[in-house]
Structure 1
C-alpha cells in the first residue's frame, strides 16, 4: 500500500506505476520508496510506501532518509556550479589554481572542467586503500594530490565513481573554507528547505532506511583497464551503506542521504529557471554552463553516457522522453533530475537496490511518466 500525500490531476498513471512496483515478482519488487515531482516551482506529486527495513517493522514516512549513492554527485555538481556562478571557481582553469599540491605528477594542467566531466584520469587509487581510509579526508585528498593520472587526462571519459567526491569537495573547502557537508547545508539544503544531508546528523538515525544490496547483475559489464578504477581498491560493497561510520561520514560522491522531497526540491529549482519558493539556487547562465555537453557521449565504464559538468544529459530515455533533461542516478535505482521542457524536477529514492548498472526498469518507467504531457 502506498501513501498519496499529493497527486495533481494528470499524474494518475505515474501513481499507478509507482504502486505496481510494490507488487512485482522479481528482484525489482519495492521494499520502500518515495517519489516527488515539482512542476513550475510547485509540488504536484508526493508518494511513498513500504518499509525502511527488511523486517518490515518501520514503515516508510515522508521523513525517511535514503542513501542515494551516486545521485549525490548531482548535488556536488550544483555546489560547484554555484561557486562558478559567484566567480570563485572557473571550469576552464586548472584545479591547481586553488589546490597547488594537486599539480604533482603531471596534473598541473588538469582543469575543473575535466574533473566535472569524468575526464581527469583519476577514477581510482594507486595506493592500497581500505573502506576505513575513505573516512579520513586529509589522507584521501593528499593521496589524490600526489597520484599521477591513471590515463591521459582529457583523452576519454571514465566514471570517477568515488574520487569525484574528494576532487570536488576539496575545491569547495579550498575556496570557501567550508567542508562540503557545511557548504551543502548552508547553500543548498537550508535555503531550499531540503531534507538532504552529507553525513546524517545526530537525532535522525531512526529516519534512515536500510539499504538492501542488489542481486548479482545478470548482464555484467567487464570493465577495461581504464574503467576498472572504481571497482577495486576498495571493492564496492553495498552493505557499507548500513554502517554507522559510513552514514555519518563525508563521502561526497556516494553517501548523501535525502528524502524524496529533499532531492526533488533541488531539481525542482533547476527545472524552474534556478529558483524555488523565492530562493535563487543558480542563475540562468550558471545552469547553461552546468549542462554544457563535454566530450563524446561515451563513458568507458558506463557505456552510452553524455556527461556535462557533473550531471548526465538525457540519452536513451534515462530521464524521460525530453532530450534536454539532466540529472544524476545512483547505484541501485535512486535518481534526481530536472526536465526544463515540462518545468518538472523529479526525485525517486529507494532502498531495495536493483542490479542493473544502467537503466533500472523502475526508474525508467517512473521518469517517463513523471515528465509525460498531462491531459487538460
Structure 2
C-alpha cells in the first residue's frame, strides 16, 4: 500500500488529522490537496501534498502534470466563495453601513421591480430571494462586466412569494449580495476583500485569477462516482440546472471543465470563483472567531446571529440533501457536521470546505484539485479526525 508523504507541520495531539489527510490520497483519490487548522488564533495543522496541473499538462489520468503542490498553490474553491462574501457583508453590517433586515431595495431601488420590494438582505443571503437563475441567458462578456447581471436580476419576478420558500442560488447570490455591498458601501466584494481582509491578514486570496498566475493550479478530472450513486442534481431539470450553474454563459452541467477557462476564471464571481490556499482560508475563518495577528473580522454576537438556521428542509427546486443555511453560511448538519454544534462556513463543488466554530475558537480549510465523485468523504474524513482530536 502506498503511503503518501506530506509536507508541513502538525501540532501534538492532531496526528489523526494528518492520518486522514494521507488516507485521502491513498484511499480516496486525492492527487493534490492541502488542509489547515487554527485553534485560538494559532496555526496547529498546515499540510500539503501531491502534484498539480498548473502548466496545463495531461500526462496523468487525473489531468495533473506532476508539478509539486506547494504551500502557496492556489486553486478555485467554488462555493466556498459564498462564505467569504458573507463575511464581507457581515463586516459591513457591523460597521453600520448596511442592515441585514432592511429590504434590498433600500440600497438598490431598482431591485423592487416585479414584486421584490420586501425581500431583505438576510433573505438574499439565506437563498430565499427566488432568483436562482436569470430568465434570459447571459454571455461571458456580460458576466465580466458585472452590471448586466445585476440589471437582469433586478428586472425579474421571483419564482416564489418572498419569505415562503428557499432554493440554492448557486451563482446568482454572488451578484445579489455583491450589488447590495456595492450600493451600501461603494465597494464590490473584490475590493472589500482586498482592503478589509486580505491586506490586514496577509492573505493571497482573490475572486478570480489570471491563467498566468504562477501559483494557480487548474482543476483536474473528477473522481468517478460510485456505481449505485445518484447525484442530487440529477433530480433537477437539466435545462434549469444549466442556467442555475452556468447562467447561460458557461456550461453549467460541466463546471469542472469551465472553471479552467479564462472567461470563467478571470471575472469577479463572488459565489463561485474564490482563488486561495487552504491555509489562507483557515486563517480568514480563524479571524471570525478569534484574534489573528491582531486582526478580528467579526464579533461573537454577529457570528451567533448569522449561524441561526433560516433555510432547512425541502427546497423549492431540487431535493433535501440535509443542508442548513443561516445568514449566508452553511451550519452544522448531518451532511456537513464540521466540528459539530456551532460550526458555520461553506463547502464547494468538488470537495472544498472552510468553516469556523466560535465556542471552540477553531477554524478549518481544505482545498483539493481533484473534484470528488459521489459520494465524496474526503472533507468529512478530515472533520471526523479533527473532532476526535478535540
On whether the aligned pair clears a TM of 0.5, the verdict is yes
Aligned to 1:82: 91
Aligned to 2:57: none
Residues in 2 aligned to 1:334 and 1:118: alpha-carbon distance in whole angstroms:
20
RMSD between aligned alpha carbons?
A: 2.2
Could you say what secondary structure the match of 2:67 adopts?
coil
Aligned to 2:266: 248
Could you say what secondary structure the match of 1:326 adopts?
strand
Aligned to 1:223: 236
Aligned to 1:331: 349
1:344–1:211 CA distance, 2 compared to 1 (3 A): same
Aligned to 2:367: 349
Could you say what secondary structure the match of 2:38 adopts?
strand
Could you say what secondary structure the match of 1:267 adopts?
helix
Q: Where do 1:141-180 residues align within 5 Å?
A: 141-180=150-189
Aligned to 1:191: 200
Structure 2 unaligned segments of length 5 or more: list them.
Answer: 54-62
Conserved? CA contact 2:36–2:278, under 8 Å: yes
Conserved? CA contact 1:11–1:45, under 8 Å: yes
Residues in 1 aligned to 2:196 and 2:13: alpha-carbon distance in whole angstroms:
33
Conserved? CA contact 2:171–2:245, under 8 Å: no
1:73–1:219 CA distance, 2 compared to 1 (3 A): same
Aligned to 1:110: 119
Residues in 1 aligned to 2:79 and 2:280: alpha-carbon distance in whole angstroms:
16
Structure 1 unaligned segments of length 5 or more: list them.
Answer: none
1:350–1:15 CA distance, 2 compared to 1 (3 A): same
Is 1:205 paired with 2:213? Answer: yes
Residues in 2 aligned to 1:213 and 1:68: alpha-carbon distance in whole angstroms:
15
Aligned to 1:15: 18
Q: Indicate the larger mover: 322-331 or 127-136.
A: 127-136
Deviation at 1:317, TM superposition (A): 5.3
Residues in 2 aligned to 1:94 and 1:220: alpha-carbon distance in whole angstroms:
35
1:36–1:232 CA distance, 2 compared to 1 (3 A): closer
Aligned to 1:4: 7
Q: Where do 1:298-309 residues align within 5 Å?
A: 298-299=314-315, 300-301=317-318, 303=320, 304-309=322-327
- Structure 1 moving runs of 4+ over 4 Å: 224-229
Residues in 2 aligned to 1:92 and 1:231: alpha-carbon distance in whole angstroms:
27
Conserved? CA contact 2:7–2:47, under 8 Å: yes
1:227–1:42 CA distance, 2 compared to 1 (3 A): farther
Deviation at 1:233, TM superposition (A): 4.3
Is 1:214 paired with 2:217? Answer: no
1:305–1:55 CA distance, 2 compared to 1 (3 A): closer
1:291–1:223 CA distance, 2 compared to 1 (3 A): same
1:207–1:116 CA distance, 2 compared to 1 (3 A): same
Deviations 1:16-42 (A, max 9, x none): 110122122xxx401100000001100
2:277 to 252, 259, 273: 259
Residues in 2 aligned to 1:132 and 1:31: alpha-carbon distance in whole angstroms:
33
Is 1:277 paired with 2:280? Answer: no
Deviations 1:116-175 (A, max 9, x none): 100110111101224443222011011011111122222111000000100011111112
Deviation at 1:57, TM superposition (A): 3.1
The TM-score normalised by the length of structure 2 is: 0.88
Is 1:320 paired with 2:320? Answer: no
Residues in 2 aligned to 1:320 and 1:113: alpha-carbon distance in whole angstroms:
23
Could you say what secondary structure the match of 2:16 adopts?
helix
Deviation at 1:215, TM superposition (A): 5.0
